[in-house]
Amino acid sequence: MRHALIAETIGKSFRHRNSDIAPTFRAWLESGLFRNRSEKRFWALRDVSLRVAPGEMVGVIGRNGSGKSTLLRLLGGVMQPDRGSVAASDPVRGLLQLNTGMHPDLSGRENVLINGVLCGLLKSEVQERMSDIIAFADLHDHIEQPVRTYSSGMRLRLGFAIAVHVDPKILLIDEVLAVGDLAFQGKCLARISAFKKAGCAIVLISHDMHQIREFCDRAIWLDAGHVCAEGLPDAVVEAYETAAHSAAANEAAKAEPLEGPNRFGTKEVVIGDVRLMDASGAAIGTIAQGDAMTVRFRLTPAEPTQVQISVSIADASRRLCFDANSETDQIEIPEVASGLSLSISFARLDLSPGTYFVSVGVWHRDWSKAYDMHMDAYSFEITGGPKLLGVLAPPRRWRATPD
Amino acid sequence: MRRFSGRSLRHMRDTISVLVMRDQKSRFKSTVMGVFWAVASPMLFLLTFYLLFKVILPLQIPNYAAHLFIGIVVWSWFQGATSESVTSIVANSALIAQPGFPAVALPLSVTTSHLLTLILTLPVLVVILLFSGTSIGLSLIALPVVMAAMFIFVLAVSYLVAGLNVSFRDMQYIVPIVLQLGYFTTPIFYDATNLPDRTRAVLGLNPMLHIIEAFRAILMRDSWPDWGPLSLVLGGSLCFLWLSQMFFRRASLRFLEEL
């Protein structure tokens, strides 16, 4: 089969930047005068090959900084590989950043013309498609208003409408399918499927594994610039997710002190050293369905205090699965004088596979104020068993008895 | 490998046209006075210099208002285009990352847009010329040649500073300083023909001197420009443009890495 896009063992290396300072003459002079032979370079992408046939959609997954965007830039020809080569049978189009050339003071119609041309169309071609684009973006009479009066949703719709009217033969998509409301997203996905049917070769970067599984014919998992796995989307996504979970376990073991919007309270008593552990006391990020788990943490008060504590578990959509506290469970917490270690052990967690978040809180004894609350701050993964729609996955037995 | 000729030329033309349109329309839509500003700024400079060198420190230059105005608007083209080009790549990084976007269009559209601004001030120039009783005639046919030479020169400088600034951000500070010096070493408010030969020879190394003098010869005296230096400027600018666009094209392969 003739391929639309071929990348042959491409590699790209970047200079290590010592600081965020933009390059200056001084740096240039210094590097010229005292030529630094050991200039450090790192490979953002190494030895990656990719062939995309017309009508094929390839998904690229990987953590941030794994080289996905670099790969897309090389495929798009806006960056040159240091090794290997990229060949394309037709002009490559991108659905990368929307609204790049838009000017807020100009009307929607004027911006369609500008952005259409910047996306690769000729002016005459944009004019032909103008009414289709406006209809797709669902902007009607707003189209004559300056774009600055648009809501962010309207702007995105307009940007997307332009970008999907270029009728590409080769299309690169970077994470933009997550924009807009669901109905519009569906419209965009339908449009992209139509491109695919019409023989467009597509490379899609996404963090949405569901999209990768559903729309892609193949997937590539990049890690640190290398191809970690390649093949059918289901297999690659599974391998990627398993690895991501064990990485999360390593993160959990570090038990960094928490800061940010997930933490609130007066800090008269602080929670620290929160650990999720398995039965043996080892820090975990993943447990098998039905296994035991212990949440352990330390309280450190500013002065001796009587407290209440709470622990809860929520699922990925922040639906509360479990919530108990020292009052509901009638636990007498000794006065916290200098420090106090606390733990709650679950004999088994019969939850459906997925990501869960643990919240831990320490409160005034009459619940009038929070001393320290860590909201959905500690995540763990339940693995094994079938993916269920509900939260609970208790051990169960089915029986069919003929009458 | 990536050659899609004919169409890409037309796309280039359309890209420049929409970028210029965006630039011009946005400038005049977002302000209350709109197009007036294109004229107001050179008019204010005209008033200031006129007051300074006609009333306070009189210079003996005939038709001083016309002399000044030509100097100011022609220099504004050069100054506007180069000072905007220097940041044109850095400021448009998202466009640079767009597959199929021709980076060479950016300095070209900036240069064209500032030429349009110059053209907008032409009616005022005509009024000033009429009032000062200068003669316009046949030599006007040489004006496009002078403008073409200047376009080539401005574009060459634009490619150079735009390309350089991506790797060496110092350019965006150096260019305004050089332009400020240029304002005084170019005969904008004075007349270089009055200068001692030695000084004139040194200042004559600046192509803008010959370009501005050519504009004045045509518009104020209905005489042919001094073809000798002008053809040098034209030839030199062509070579310069060829080199600087080559430099720009080579640098453009690495733009995204430096942004």
pLDDT-derived band at B122 (thresholds 50, 70, 90) equals: confident
Q: What is the mean pLDDT of residues B183-210?
A: 89
Interatomic CA distance for residues A391 and A323, integer angstroms:
14
**Across A59-68, A177-186, A290-299, B205-214, least confident range:** A177-186
Ranges A13-22, A206-215, A306-315, B61-70: which has the least confidence: A13-22
The average pLDDT across A190-206 equals: 89
Where in chain B are the domains?
Answer: 5-258
Distance CA B160, CA B154 (A): 10
So what's the pLDDT on residue A19?
45
Nearest to B4 among A79, A91, A122 (CB): A91
pLDDT at residue B218, rounded to an integer: 92
Rg (CA), chain A: 27
pLDDT of residue A120: 86
Q: Is the pLDDT of residue A258 over 80?
A: no
Is there a contact between A91 and B26 if contact means CB atoms under 8 Å apart? no
Choose the weakest-confidence range: A47-56, A249-258, A374-383, B124-133.
A249-258
Distance from the Cα of A213 to chain B's closest Cα (Å) equals 26
3-state secondary structure B200-236: HHHHCCCHHHHHHHHHHHHHHHCCCCCHHHHHHHHHH
Q: Where are the alpha helices (DSSP H) in B86-167?
A: 88-91, 93-96, 105-120, 122-131, 143-167
Choosing among 1.20.1070.10, 1.10.10.60, 3.40.50.300, 3.30.390.30, the CATH entry for A5-21+39-245 is 3.40.50.300
Strands (E), A136-248: 170-174, 201-205, 218-223, 226-231
Which secondary-structure segment (H or E) carries A152? helix A152-163
Rounded to a whole number, what is the distance in Å from the CA of B171 to chain A's nearest CA?
9
Where b means 16+ CB within 10 Å and e means fewer, A3-25 reads: bbbbbeebbbbeeeeeeeebbee
Tokens describing residue A70: 């670099």
> Does ipTM surpass 0.90 in this model?
no
For residue B203, the distance in angstroms to the closest alpha carbon of chain A comes to: 28
Q: What is the pLDDT averaged over residues B230-244?
A: 95
- The 10s digit of each residue's pLDDT in A80-120 is 888 888 888 888 888 877 777 788 888 889 999 999 998 88
Q: pLDDT tens digits for A351-373?
A: 888 888 899 999 988 888 888 88
Task: Return the pLDDT at B18.
Answer: 92
Q: Which of B257, B258, B259 to probe the A interface (max A CBs under 10 A)?
A: B257
Question: Would the CB atoms of B94 and A100 count as touching at under 8 Å?
Answer: yes
- pLDDT value at residue A30: 61
- Residue B2 pLDDT: 45
The tokens of B200 are what?
Answer: 């004139």
Residue with more model confidence, B229 or B6 = B229
| pLDDT mean across residues, chain B | 88
Domain positions in chain A: 5-21+39-245, 260-383
Q: Helix or strand or coil: residue B37?
A: helix
Top residue of A43, A105, A203 to mutate, by most chain B CBs within 10 Å, is A105
CATH ID of A260-383, from 3.30.70.1350, 2.60.40.2300, 2.70.50.60, 3.30.70.100: 2.70.50.60
Residue A80: list chain B partners with CB under 8 A: 253-254
Report residue A305's pLDDT band, with 50, 70 and 90 as the boundaries.
Answer: confident
Query: Cβ distance A284 to A276 under 8 Å?
Result: yes
Q: What is residue B166's predicted lDDT score, i.e. its pLDDT? A: 87
Closest residue to B25, CB basis, from A93, A110, A118: A110
Task: Provide, rounded to the nearest whole percent, the portion of chain B with pLDDT above 70.
Answer: 96
Return the bridge partners of A270, or none.
A300
Residue A189 has a pLDDT of: 84
How large a percentage of chain B has pLDDT more than 90? 47
Check B30 against A105: CB less than 8 A apart: yes
CB pair distance less than 8 Å for B17 and A123? yes
The answer to whether the Cβ–Cβ distance between A22 and B169 falls below 8 Å is: yes
pLDDT band of residue A37 (cuts 50, 70, 90) is: very low
Per-residue pLDDT for B3 more than 60? Answer: no
CB contact, 8 Å: B34 with chain A? no
State yes or no: pLDDT of A60 exceeds 60. Answer: yes
Q: Does residue B65 carry a pLDDT above 80? A: yes
**How does residue B86 score in pLDDT terms, banded at 50, 70 and 90?**
very high
* A87 contacts on B by Cβ (under 8 Å): 1
- The alpha carbon of residue B8 is apart from the nearest alpha carbon of chain A, in Å, by 9
B29: contact with A, CB 8 A cutoff: yes
Please give, rounded to a whole number of angstroms, the shortest distance from the CA of A112 to a CA of chain B: 10
Q: What's the whole-number mean pLDDT along residues A332-350? A: 88
